[in-house]
Amino acid sequence: MENPSTDFIAFKKIFLEHDIESTIPLELNVNGLDPIIINNGDFNPENLDFTNAYFEQLNEYTKYYAFSNPPIDDYPDNHPVSMIIKNFNQYIYSAFRQSNNTSIRHLHLTTKGLDGGDGYRKAIGAIGEGIFAKRVASIPSISMARMLANAKMIDNFNPTNQIYVDLLTEHKYTEVENGYSFMIVNHTDRFGNPIAQKLKLRRNSLSRNMGFSIINTGFIAYEVKTYNPSNTASNLWGGFKEGIEQTIERAFFRNVTAGVLVFDKTSFTNLYNSSYHSQVEALLNRIKSMRNSNGDQAVFLKLEENLWIESNNAFYSIKDKIENL
Amino acid sequence: MKILFSIICFTFNVTCMAQSNFQKNEFYYDTYDNFIDELKNKNSFLEILGKKKVIDIYNSKTVFHTSWNSGEDLPENGIYFEHFNIIVELKSLKELRLENLFVKNLPANFINLNQLITLELCFSRSADVEKNLAILKGLKLLKYLDLNGSRLSEKQRDYIRIELSKQGVIVNDVVMLRSN
């Protein structure tokens, strides 16, 4: 960079001339810096301290704003389609916003039939996550301190070891035995009957002393699979098996107490009564025998009533609202 | 007889521990709603809290974090902690935990808490990372920072963790929102 001040003035000019309400991303190429893209409606160029800035400071700012932006290929928050979905159901909006295989834009294209064929399946997956998150959030819980949709967990012993979770709930329990609290996991049996299971919760890096008592923290990682009950048994088996494998990976991650696979009840019943019956049974017996370091079962199944039907209805409700935009 | 003696000793120990704990004013733990109620009389509040070394205030509601990209500054049921003007007067504070209570920008005089060793708080999505980091770096005794539940992007959290770890601060942020 030959003359920092010249580039800096050019940089400022582009910012100030850009309409921040525009939905078109602004791409900036300043000599000596990586290209940055601003497509965040909340971005305010007035936040930049141009009067006292110098090149290093500018470099830091660009890093900051570049990593504050949503992904380039999706609509911004103030886009009409985004606003309609957000008003329809913020949990569903949240699931689309962070999905790794679809987006608000992709959903919009899907409703117009321009998605390339896989949009509906992916949309139902994201909507199912949103509907399940809403169901969990609507049940009052004293122990639950936090819920995170699309969470990321890091193993603090090995930071390169990470997992992504559809829905993560954080629970706090007072210690009742030396070194342990007891945590309740709500799941179902293979017929959909609800079960509340008590698991041991050990002290960990998040435990804390509260005067005379100790509070231990545990996490439940939910993996949500929303499959159409009309799918072939082979497809349902593929989805179920994949879901179980993902849940096992999450359940045995550091600091996670239990992993729960959430599956549509009717879809599971169809699968259970199909030719895959013995394989499903074997898999369920396998997860039942998988124990964590406290000797408790760590992987569970939760069958949700009408998960697919509600997701499908929500998809068509959203479609009616956005397809003509 | 031995059992009776053990019970008496145990009771005596617990009583002594309780007394010493409260006499030294080491601990304060309350919900945010109760904290606000107590704030209504600031003078007596400072009399009560003035010598506390550990303060833990928690949001009693379950907060729900929608995805990071959905843009909300706070999660559902999230609350901004807006009473740092009281906290910064508690100069002997060693541990401050604001559980599920959110902070956009720490006040500049937060640096007055120069005895602070442990800090837990949640930054909201629009928090100014650079400004807050500069204040946190100014807390020379800070050894442990818990940022779990903050609405920062992964890169912002990595940045904070790397910068503070240069000063020997352990940053606990094992649970975060995924951000692209």
A59 vs A262, higher pLDDT: A262
Among A46, A150, A168, pick the best mutation site for testing chain B contact (most B Cβ within 10 A).
A150
Question: Does position A18 have pLDDT exceeding 80, yes or no?
Answer: no
- By Cβ distance, the residue of B29, B66, B126 closest to A149 is B66
pLDDT value at residue B180: 59
- What mean pLDDT comes out for the span B142-169? 91
- For A104, nearest residue in chain B (alpha carbons): B70
Q: Is beta strand B170-172 parallel, antiparallel or unpaired with respect to B144-146?
A: parallel
Sequence-ordered list of residues with C-beta below 8 angstroms from that of B180, at least 6 positions apart, any chain: A70, A71, A98, B69
B98 vs B1, higher pLDDT: B98
Three-class DSSP category at A154: strand
DSSP A46: G
A142-178 tens-digit pLDDT: 888 899 988 888 887 777 788 889 999 999 999 987 7
How far, in Å, CA of B116 to CA of B93, rounded? 6
Between chains, do B69 and A90 touch, taking CB under 8 Å as contact? no
End-to-end CA distance of chain B: 67
Mean pLDDT (chain A, rounded)? 80
Q: Is beta strand B118-123 parallel, antiparallel or unpaired with respect to A208-210?
A: unpaired
A17 vs A200, higher pLDDT: A200
Question: Does position A282 have pLDDT exceeding 80, yes or no?
Answer: yes
Query: Is the distance from CB of B54 to CB of B30 less than 8 angstroms?
Result: no
Between chains, do A97 and B149 touch, taking CB under 8 Å as contact? no
| Confidence class for position A74, pLDDT limits 50, 70, 90 | confident
A123-134 tens-digit pLDDT: 999 999 999 999
- By Cβ distance, the residue of B29, B97, B178 closest to A152 is B178
Percent of chain A with pLDDT over 70: 78
CA distance A312 to chain B (A): 21
CA distance B79 to chain A (A): 13
Which residues in chain A are closer than 8 Å to B97, comparing Cβ atoms? 208
Between chains, do A133 and B64 touch, taking CB under 8 Å as contact? yes
pLDDT value at residue A27: 60
Which residues in chain B are closer than 8 Å to A90, comparing Cβ atoms? 66, 70
Mean pLDDT (chain B, rounded)? 83
A281 vs B40, higher pLDDT: A281
How far, in Å, CA of A43 to CA of A206, rounded? 35
How far, in Å, CA of B115 to CA of A156, rounded? 26
Which residues in chain B are closer than 8 Å to A219, comparing Cβ atoms? 175
Between chains, do A164 and B178 touch, taking CB under 8 Å as contact? yes
B17-43 tens-digit pLDDT: 444 444 456 778 889 998 888 877 767
Sequence-ordered list of residues with C-beta below 8 angstroms from that of B117, at least 6 positions apart, any chain: B94, B95, B141, B142, B143, B144
E strands, A203-246, in order: 208-210, 213-225
Among B175, B177, B179, pick the best mutation site for testing chain A contact (most A Cβ within 10 A).
B175
B39-97 tens-digit pLDDT: 777 677 777 777 788 999 999 899 999 888 878 899 999 999 988 988 898 888 999 99
Question: Does position A248 have pLDDT exceeding 70, yes or no?
Answer: yes
In 3D, which of A210, A312, A319, A309 has the Cα closest to residue A267? A309
- By Cβ distance, the residue of A64, A141, A151 closest to B176 is A151
Measured in residues, chain B has a length of 180
Residues of B with CB under 8 A from a CB of A: 14, 17-18, 21, 27, 29, 56, 58, 62-71, 76, 97, 99-100, 126, 129-130, 148-149, 153-156, 172-180
DSSP A267: H
Q: What is the 3-state secondary structure (H, E, C) of chain B?
A: CHHHHHHHHHHHHHHHHHHHHHHCCCEEEEEHHHHHHHHCCHHHHHHHHCCCCEEEEECCCCEEECCHHHCCCCCECCEECCCHHHHCCCCCCCEEEEEEEEECCCCHHHHHCCCCCEEEEEECCCCCHHHHHHHHHCCCCCCEEECCCCCCCHHHHHHHHHHHHCCCCEEECCEEECCC
A46-68 tens-digit pLDDT: 454 444 444 444 444 444 443 34
Count CB-CB contacts under 10 A for residue A3: 9
E strands, A11-143, in order: 26-28, 36-38
CA distance B33 to chain A (A): 16
- What mean pLDDT comes out for the span A215-219? 90
Which residues in chain B are closer than 8 Å to A154, comparing Cβ atoms? 173-174, 176
Question: Does position A12 have pLDDT exceeding 70, yes or no?
Answer: no
Which residues in chain A are closer than 8 Å to B21, comparing Cβ atoms? 211
Between chains, do A150 and B178 touch, taking CB under 8 Å as contact? yes
A263 vs A202, higher pLDDT: A263
- By Cβ distance, the residue of B27, B64, B148 closest to A137 is B64
Question: Does position A302 have pLDDT exceeding 60, yes or no?
Answer: yes
Which residues in chain A are closer than 8 Å to B179, comparing Cβ atoms? 98
Write down the pTM of the prediction.
0.78
- For B176, nearest residue in chain A (alpha carbons): A152
Provide the number of CB pairs (under 8 Å) joining chain A to chain B. Answer: 118
- What mean pLDDT comes out for the span A235-264? 93
Q: Is beta strand A158-174 parallel, antiparallel or unpaired with respect to A144-155?
A: antiparallel
